[in-house]
Amino acid sequence: MLLDRFYNKYIIKGTLVAETPIHIGAGEESLDPIQTDNSVIKDVNGKPYIPGSSIKGALRSYLETLLLSGVDQRFKACLIVNDPCLGDEDEVEKIKRIYQEEKRDRDLDLIVAEEIYRNLCDVCRIFGNPYFASKLKVDDCMLKGDAHLSIRDGVGIDRDTGTAADGKKYDFEQVDAGAQFEFCMSVDNLEPEHEELLKLMVKVLESGQLRVGGKTSVGLGCIRLIDTRAYKIEPTNFRSYLMEGLKEEMRWQYV
């Protein structure tokens, strides 16, 4: 399904709990000697949050790894950076030329969009690629209540000796375990068969196996989804959703 009209919308809500400390860096290093070298990302109110892009990227990587292992032959995945399912711009231009030469009566842009979509792997159909918009959206996960922040020491490793590198000691800020964040993920115009992939994503979030942010190799970044509420919006209840919001009768039984 393309995104040119409404077919369905799936909404997953709940609470993300930090099972281990989380470090999602703000992307800047302080030159102040009394400040931490690498602080966590914070909102305008100075509270830490989990960017939706971090969770979306982790979910995509999880699905790519799982499907490339061949665990489910119904679904295909590509390596979006190294070996994308839709090669490059030349391949897209080739598709356009083919249909221009055939002089079809239908709208050329729609025809090309359908052909691009047909050539995408299952993961790219959900998460998008350079030629197709993502169907999946994850909101930034804002902090619920308070969270304790602490400073942790780190040491750079010399790759040749496997020991601590001279002058490479640093510290970083982390959100301690137990912090809770609001979670909301939505998917538009999901193919019926791709419900199984959405279920997998919800299950891995609920399992506590997904990790986000930095320092995951030393145990940081483990999150778990609790109090999950899933909804499915269809044309029959779309107006009600727009006018009155989510209702119990819209619940999606994903298990």
- pLDDT at position 54: 95
Cα-to-chain-centroid distance, residue 47: 21
Residues 6+ apart with CB under 8 A from 125: 117, 132, 135, 191, 194
Q: Alpha-carbon distance 29 to 32, whole Å?
A: 9
- Which residue stretches of 119-234 are H helix? 122-127, 195-207
Contact yes or no for 6/189 (Cβ under 8 A): yes
87 and 124 Cβ atoms separated by less than 8 Å: no
Give the single-character DSSP code of 41. P
Helices (H), 136-249: 195-207, 238-244
Say whether 48 sits in a helix, a strand or coil: strand
Token pair 């940081």: residue: 220
pLDDT per 10-residue tile (average), the chain, 255 residues: 94 97 75 57 94 96 93 90 76 70 67 87 94 95 93 62 56 91 98 96 95 89 96 96 95 82
pLDDT at res. 165: 53
- Pairwise CA distance, residues 109 & 88, whole Å: 18
- The DSSP code for 193 is G
Task: Provide the pLDDT for residue 34.
Answer: 38
Q: Which fold has domain 9-85+120-250?
A: Alpha-Beta Plaits (3.30.70)
Q: Give the residue from 184, 178, 179, 181 showing the smallest Cα distance to 229.
A: 184
Whole-number Å distance between alpha carbons of 146 and 175: 10
pLDDT score, position 227:
97
> What is the domain partition of the chain in residue ranges?
9-85+120-250
pLDDT at 130: 86
Task: Check residue 225 and give its pLDDT.
Answer: 98
What stretches of 75-218 show up as alpha helix (H) in DSSP? 89-102, 108-118, 122-127, 195-207
